[in-house]
Amino acid sequence: MSETIQAADLTRDIPAEIREPFGAYLLYLGDDALVLGHRLSEWCGHGPTLEEDIALANIALDLVGRSDALLRVAAQLEGKGRSEDDLAFFRDATEFRNAALVELPRGDFAFTIVRQFLYDAYALPLYTHIAANATGALSGIAAKAVKETTYHLRHTAEWVRRFGGGTAESKRRAQDALDELWRYTGELFDEDAVTVALAGAQWIPNPSVLRAAWSETVERVLDEADLAAPAVKHHFTGARSGRHTEHLGHLLSEMQIVARSHPGASW
């Protein structure tokens, strides 16, 4: 096991001075992708049409694949002999570092799409920056994420416009989703010791720059959809340091039960 890991050291290009914050940040990225991918996978077999069912499953697979790659690097950086699967299936809720936005129950189709849209508008400029500024394995993972997310955003933005320009009910449901989700978006741009250190080293965008890029995309699409960005005074925060909503534990109990019931199983 340790020989395999040494054979492909994915962390060798990460400068010594940012290895610690980057290890923490990889859990932000990897857990966002894993938890959101799992939420999307809940639609499998329940999508509104056969085509959209496949589209959601495709996006879910992209996200789970992304988390697999990111958590593999995170596990190597951690250096405790854990694998990406250990991180995904044997951590408890308080050890997850995803933003609360991605753990909220999937809701109706409008809620799922609006949430995915808000995430995609964040992920695209984020991974674009990482692809251009990070080195080694991270740059490659980010470049793949950019390619995938470019399509995800095209798909979800198209749906947001359809909701807004569709029926009174589709518009109401999209606006309800926005009103509910908006207070969870601020956390994506929170500054903490990890993001400040990495932004200082240019590996990730400055949170305020990232927020500006996100706002530009979101405002443009909401404007086209004739939907309103809600005004929120206080945003939810704390999930990045392990203080999650009640929903993450339930999600993990379902996602982790097979791995925990049969530890070490393979197929």
Partner 1 sequence: MTDTVLYEVFLQLKQGGAHEHAGSVRATDDEMALQNARDVYARRFHPLSIWVVRSENITGSAPGDTGPFFDPGDDKPYRHPSFYTVPRGVRDV
* Binding-site ranges for partner 1 (CB under 8 A): 48-52, 54-55, 58, 151, 154-155, 158
The Cα 40–Cα 30 span in angstroms is: 15
Hey, what amino acid is at 130?
Answer: I
Closest approach of partner 1 to the CB of residue 57, in Å: 9
CB 53 to partner 1: min, Å: 9
* Nearest-approach distance from CB 21 to partner 1, in angstroms: 35
3-state percent breakdown (helix, strand, coil) of the chain, nearest 5:
70, 0, 30
Question: Among residues 129, 211, 152, which one has the least CA distance to residue 33?
Answer: 152
- Cβ closest to partner 1, residue 140 vs residue 166: 166
- Our CB check for partner 1 shows the closer of 58 and 215 to be 58
Choice between 54 and 232, CB closer to partner 1: 54
For tokens 């290009």, what's the residue? 13
The rounded distance, in Å, linking the Cα atoms of 39 and 251 is: 8
The token pair at 158 is: 């198209």
Least Å distance, CB 232 to partner 1, is: 31
| Identity at 145, one-letter amino acid code | A
Instruction: Identify the H or E element spanning 136.
Output: none
* Closest CB to partner 1 among residues 53, 78: 53
Distance CA 163, CA 153 (A): 15
Q: Are 64 and 32 in contact (CB under 8 A)?
A: no
Nearest distance, CB of residue 162 and partner 1, angstroms? 8
Burial (CB count within 10 angstroms: exposed 0-12, middle 13-18, buried 19+), residue 4: exposed
Minimum distance between the CB of residue 214 and partner 1, rounded to whole angstroms?
23
Indicate the residue among 61 and 209 with the shorter CB distance to partner 1.
Answer: 61
Closer to partner 1 by Cβ: residue 82 or 161: 161
